[in-house]
């Protein structure tokens, strides 16, 4: 079993991630870190929340431990558990404990997907106590000053049942993310996928049109991530209309008429 130092080293970010700030979010996040305040990132899927965390970790020179939450995520999955290895019970730290011990950033992605009891374990960590009780070991970890907790959620599509509890959300500094404005988004798409600026701008135009369809039956418009996918396919030689169809419109809906309309949008722009 690797030592904790080795394990956390896997979470160090070695190359500077590409991130274009949309506003003052980097500065706010850094200030929050300096003041030992946890972060709550809100925003639609694929708009750059995770990339922002990577960038922040790089800027702060801290390891980033990311946990993608799912509805079966238990407290043990976060904190750690005993495992039996060769007749012996061995304690293994969970990602959260690992991050607390190492003074890293722990990023719980899509926190509302996790079970409600799981979210409660972060409560003492997210206020001024900054404690993580490990009940099974009878240990109380206090986070070092560098540790930072960040959670994200998408207020758009989750059901009312999966809303974040007030007692949880009222511990965080909230940063709202949205799709970047057109020019910035085009630069991001161009840079990430390697397509030229004209194509990137056109992709962004397609995305803007799909986002406008939200009231016409589309649950969510195309995210920046999808644009980058389409751009990558196009750069690798797939015809741009096909690339858009498979990477953008096909992923957005299954409804034939809406799909047809989305295809029309694509064929208008390209």
Partner 1 sequence: MDHSELTARLAALIEVDALNYWEIEDYVEQLAAQPTEVQEEVLRQVGVIWPVSQALCLDFLDQVQRGLNCLHHSRLGEWVNATLDVYEKDGLKQAQRFLAEVESNFLCQIRGKSGLGLTEAGGRLLPYLRGLAGRALDLASAPTTYTDSQTIFLPPEITLCKEKRENFLTYKLLASWQWGLLAAGTFSARLTPEQPLIRELIVRHGRRLSSEQPFPANFYHLFPDPELAGDLFLLVETVRITKLMRQELPGLMRDSAPILAQLRRQRPALSGLEGKNRLLEALNHWALTAAPPESAAGPNAKLYARAVELLLPLANTGGTIDDSLGITAQLYRLCERLPGGYHPEHPPILGGRLQPRAVEAIRLRRREESRQQFIKALGAMLAVEAGENAPPERHPAQRQKPSGLPDDAAAALLPPPAKGGEGEQPLKPPPAETEYITVGGREIKIPEPLRELAGEIRQDLGRIPERYISAALEQAGTAAVGGPGPDPNEGPEATGPLLYDEWDYRRGGFRKNWCTLLEKQLLPVSSPFVENTREKYRGQLRLLKRQFEMMRLQQRFVRRQKEGDEIDLDAAIEALIDIRAGHPASDNLFIRLNRDERNIAAIFLVDMSYSTEGWVSTALKEALVLMCESLQVLGDRYAIYGFSGMRRSRAELYQIKHLGEQYDRKVKGRISAIIPKDYTRMGPPIRHVSRILAASEAKIRLLITLSDGKPEDYDDYKGEYAIEDTRHALIEAKAAGIHPFCITIDREAQEYIPHMYGAVNYIFINDVKRLPLRMPEIYRALTT
Q: Which of residues 18-47 bind partner 1 (CB under 8 A)?
A: none
Q: Tell me how far apart the alpha carbons of residues 63 and 126 are, in angstroms, rounded to a whole number.
A: 18
At 35, give phi and psi (nearest 5°). Answer: -95, 10
Q: How many residues bind partner 1 (CB under 8 A)?
A: 39
Residue nearer to partner 1 on the CB measure, 193 or 199: 199
Question: Do the strands 64-68 and 88-93 form a parallel or antiparallel pair, or are they unpaired?
Answer: unpaired
Residue nearer to partner 1 on the CB measure, 1 or 89: 89
- Nearest-CA neighbor of 200 among 221, 224, 167? 224
Residue 148 CB: number of other CB atoms within 10 A?
26
266 binds partner 1 (CB under 8 A): yes
Residue nearer to partner 1 on the CB measure, 50 or 210: 210
Residue nearer to partner 1 on the CB measure, 50 or 224: 224
76 binds partner 1 (CB under 8 A): yes
138 binds partner 1 (CB under 8 A): no
Strand runs labelled E in 116-262: 131-134, 139-142, 148-153, 173-176
Residue 38 CB: number of other CB atoms within 10 A?
20
Which of 152, 210, 223, 224 is in the footprint of partner 1 by CB under 8 A? 210
90 binds partner 1 (CB under 8 A): no
DSSP of 214-256: GGGT-SS---HHHHHHHHHHHHTT--HHHHHIIIIIHHH---H
Which of 83, 90, 140, 174 is in the footprint of partner 1 by CB under 8 A? 83
Q: Which stretch binds partner 1 (CB under 8 A): 17-25, 106-114, 185-193, 258-266?
A: 258-266
Please check whether residue 54 is in contact with residue 183, taking contact to mean a CB–CB distance below 8 angstroms. no
**Smallest separation (angstroms) from partner 1 to the CB of 256:** 9
Residue nearer to partner 1 on the CB measure, 58 or 270: 270
Residue nearer to partner 1 on the CB measure, 9 or 212: 212
Please check whether residue 105 is in contact with residue 98, taking contact to mean a CB–CB distance below 8 angstroms. no
Which of 26, 173, 184, 208 is in the footprint of partner 1 by CB under 8 A? 208
Q: Tell me how far apart the alpha carbons of residues 136 and 101 are, in angstroms, rounded to a whole number.
A: 17
184 binds partner 1 (CB under 8 A): no
Chain positions contacting partner 1, by CB under 8 A: 74-76, 81-84, 87, 89, 115, 159-161, 181-182, 202, 205, 208-210, 212-213, 215-218, 241, 257-258, 260-262, 264-270
């Amino acid at each position: 079993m690797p030592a904790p130092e080795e394990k956390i080293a896997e979470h160090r970010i070695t190359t500077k991630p590409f991130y274009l700030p949309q506003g003052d979010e980097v500065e706010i996040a850094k200030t929050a870190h300096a003041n030992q305040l946890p972060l709550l990132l809100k925003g639609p899927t694929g708009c750059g929340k995770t990339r922002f965390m990577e960038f922040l970790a790089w800027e702060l020179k801290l390891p980033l431990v990311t946990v993608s939450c799912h509805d079966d995520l238990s407290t043990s999955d976060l904190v750690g558990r005993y495992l039996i290895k060769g007749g012996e019970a061995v304690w293994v730290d969970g990602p959260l404990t690992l991050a607390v011990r190492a003074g890293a950033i722990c990023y719980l992605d899509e926190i509302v997907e996790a079970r409600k009891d799981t979210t409660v374990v972060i409560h003492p960590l997210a206020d001024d106590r900054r404690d993580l009780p490990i009940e099974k070991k009878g240990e109380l970890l206090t986070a070092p000053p560098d540790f930072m907790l960040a959670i994200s959620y998408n207020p758009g599509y989750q059901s009312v049942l999966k809303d974040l509890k007030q007692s949880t959300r009222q511990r965080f500094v909230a940063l709202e993310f949205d799709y970047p404005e057109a020019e910035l988004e085009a630069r991001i798409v161009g840079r990430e996928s390697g397509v030229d600026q004209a194509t990137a701008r056109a992709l962004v135009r397609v995305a803007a049109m799909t986002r406008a369809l939200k009231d016409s039956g589309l649950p969510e418009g195309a995210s920046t991530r999808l644009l980058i996918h389409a751009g990558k396919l196009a750069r690798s030689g797939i015809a741009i209309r096909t690339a858009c169809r498979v990477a953008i419109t096909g992923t957005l809906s299954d409804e034939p008429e809406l799909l047809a309309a989305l295809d029309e949008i694509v064929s208008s722009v390209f």
